[in-house]
Amino acid sequence: METDEAVAALSALAHETRLEVFRLLVRRGPSGLPAGQAATILGIPAPTLSFHLKELRLAGMVRRRREGRSLVYSPDFDAMNSLVDFLTRNCCEEASDPPRRNTRCDCNSP
């Protein structure tokens, strides 16, 4: 992930409602969730949810597919993992005793 992509993703996730929507989709998993069902679960009016889903899509954090008459949204786990990797890429790089590189930044671990 490049810096500009990370900025777009973080900007999209920086809004409380969009973060709530994204976390719901992450909990739901790769099968996703129809927009109407997400609106009901979160208690968000459909037009408002539509706006937030559009912003998450433009930032590359969610995918959309049509199933019959429904639009189903799911998280883009590759994008999510790329963002986490971008954020932790240089974890503890300048620490006096850096931990071994793994999938988690564990600088606070003894």
Please, what are the averages of pLDDT over each run of 10 residues along the chain (110 residues)?
Answer: 95 97 96 96 96 97 96 96 89 68 51
Q: What is the pTM of this model?
A: 0.84
Could you count the other beta carbons within 10 Å of the beta carbon of residue 106?
Answer: 13
Give the C-alpha separation, 108 to 38, whole Å. Answer: 36
Could you give all domains of the chain from N- to C-terminal order, each with its CATH number? 3-88 (1.10.10.10)
- Please give the pLDDT value at position 29: 94
Q: E strands of the chain, at which residues?
A: 33-34, 62-67, 70-75
- Please give the pLDDT value at position 24: 97
- Please give the pLDDT value at position 92: 74
Phi/psi at 67 (5° precision): -125, 105
